[in-house]
Amino acid sequence: MAIAIPQPKPGILDIDPYVPGESRLPAGVKPIKLSSNETPLGPSPKALAAFRETAGTLERYPDGNATALRDAIAARYGLNPARIVCGAGSDELLTMLAHAYLGEGDEAIFTEHGFLLYKIIVLANGATPVVAPETNLRTDIGAIVSRVTPRTKVVFLANPNNPTGTYISFDEVRSLRTQLPENVLLVLDAAYAEYVKRNDYEAGIELVATTQNTVMTRTFSKIHGLAGLRLGWAYCPEAVADVLNRIRGPFNVSIPAIAAGAASIADKAHEDASAAHNERWMPWLSAELEKLGLTVTPSVANFILVHFAKDGARTADTADKFLKSRAIIVRKVASYGLPDCLRVTIGTEADNRAVVAALADFVGGRPA
Ligand SMILES: *Cc1c(COP(=O)(O)O)cnc(C)c1O
């Protein structure tokens, strides 16, 4: 007879655990880590100073409403602080949204090469993931709309998307919203919004402000350089903010995160410098790799998707090994349905030049 052991809810054992970008190389080699879309400029010095100042008060519980942080975010973007909810990374906010709005029998839609977390949080709630194909590695709103059923409860859309680096215009997002039933929650995950320099892009603030069924999530992990601190925020309709505030941990954002986040969001100059660095080096790296004969998907974010041969000596897997032998760590994206690609984060000037030099040798058939 089988031993009865505690069983998780249906769906949970169908989850493939999330595998983060690699960060280690053998035997003390200091790697060039371009695998997790972190900023090469680091956090704002003002955020670091605010973080350090909290060291004397760590025996205290944080302000459970993260008021100073929500006020700073509201001031920066002209928002109503009552509709901002903060979390331990936008991962926590996305997880809470799935927890609140999805259950057994429900469906949630995301795109073919969408962020892997979506599938995890849908399955974790016993709901059914529904995948909408992309067109040329870009979100196809028609494909999303055509997969809506009476069971659809949530659509998760990363815009720009990770790992493709592509985006859809605000017109398309608005059109998607119009075509979705009103009871479907549209979650706009705008983790890379600050990097996008396109006139037709909008992260989602306007849509959240004017509809009852759209949420935008943002993160301090990318352009703010605070990935290790775990901090994100969501801008929500009042009813959704109320739901999230009922289910979140009462102290889900720590004292250091509140302090550093508030200082960081107020330091527009540091954010601008990080965006300017990316604007300089992302097109440069894309162009240099294309000169080597590699295909690069046009990106608006702080990473690029590089395509390799399907078979033979120049596959993504062999390129990945070659780069590792040069202490360069990038992201394999086979788990995103892109086995012939590698995702490369934009690094410092030296990092970017090292990637080009290494891939030139790889493409040229020179030894690792
Ligand atoms: C990096 C990333 C996030 C941010 O996650 P955090 O939990 O805030 O660190 C969210 N969505 C996408 C698509 C990302 O690439």
Mean pLDDT computed over 330-340: 97
Task: Tell me the best of 117, 167, 187 to mutate to test the pocket of ligand 1, counting ligand atoms within 8 Å of each CB and taking the most.
Answer: 117
Above 90 in pLDDT, residue 6?
Answer: no
Please state the atom number of ligand 1 nearest to the C-alpha of residue 91.
7
Q: Which of 266, 296, 327 is the last residue of a domain?
A: 266
Please state the atom number of ligand 1 nearest to the C-alpha of residue 92.
7
| 18-62 tens-digit pLDDT | 777 776 666 677 899 999 999 999 999 999 999 999 999 999 999
**Please, what is the average pLDDT of the chain?**
96
Do 18 and 116 lie in one domain? The reply is no
Do 37 and 123 lie in one domain? The reply is no
Above 70 in pLDDT, residue 99?
Answer: yes
Q: Which of 219, 241, 266 is the last residue of a domain?
A: 266
Above 90 in pLDDT, residue 201?
Answer: yes
Q: Which of 5-14, 57-66, 82-91, 311-320 has the lowest mean pLDDT?
A: 5-14
- Phi, psi values for residue 345, rounded to 5°: -80, 145
Mean pLDDT computed over 7-28: 79
| Domain membership flag for residue 339 | yes
Which pLDDT score is estimated for 368? 82
Please state the atom number of ligand 1 nearest to the C-alpha of residue 219.
8
Do 356 and 343 lie in one domain? The reply is yes
| Domain membership flag for residue 321 | yes
Above 80 in pLDDT, residue 104?
Answer: yes
Residue with tokens 């880590």: 33
Which pLDDT score is estimated for 42? 97
Which pLDDT score is estimated for 4? 86
| Domain membership flag for residue 6 | no
- Is 189's C-beta closer than 6 angstroms to any atom of ligand 1? yes
Mean pLDDT computed over 252-261: 98
| 286-305 tens-digit pLDDT | 999 999 999 999 999 999 99
| Domain membership flag for residue 52 | yes
Distance CA 351, CA 328 (A): 8
Question: 106: pLDDT confidence band, cut at 50, 70 and 90?
Answer: very high
Distance CA 239, CA 11 (A): 28
| 107-143 tens-digit pLDDT | 999 999 999 999 999 999 999 999 999 999 999 999 9
Among 204, 129, 118, smallest CA distance to 160 is for: 204
CATH code of the domain in which 156 resides? 3.40.640.10
- Is 219's C-beta closer than 6 angstroms to any atom of ligand 1? yes
Please state the atom number of ligand 1 nearest to the C-alpha of residue 222.
1
Instruction: Indicate the pTM of the whole model.
Output: 0.95
| Domain membership flag for residue 284 | yes
Work out whether the CA dihedral 51, 54, 60, 65 comes out positive or negative. Answer: negative
Question: 3: pLDDT confidence band, cut at 50, 70 and 90?
Answer: confident
Domain that holds residue 275: 12-42+269-363
Do 65 and 30 lie in one domain? The reply is no
Tell me the CA–centroid distance for residue 72 and ligand 1, in Å.
21
The share of the chain scoring above pLDDT 90, in percent, equals: 91
Burial status of residue 11 (CB atoms within 10 A of its CB: 0-12, 13-18, 19 or more): middle
What per-residue string of b and e applies to 311-335 under the rule 16 or more CB within 10 Å gives b? Answer: eeebebeebbebbbebebbbbbbee
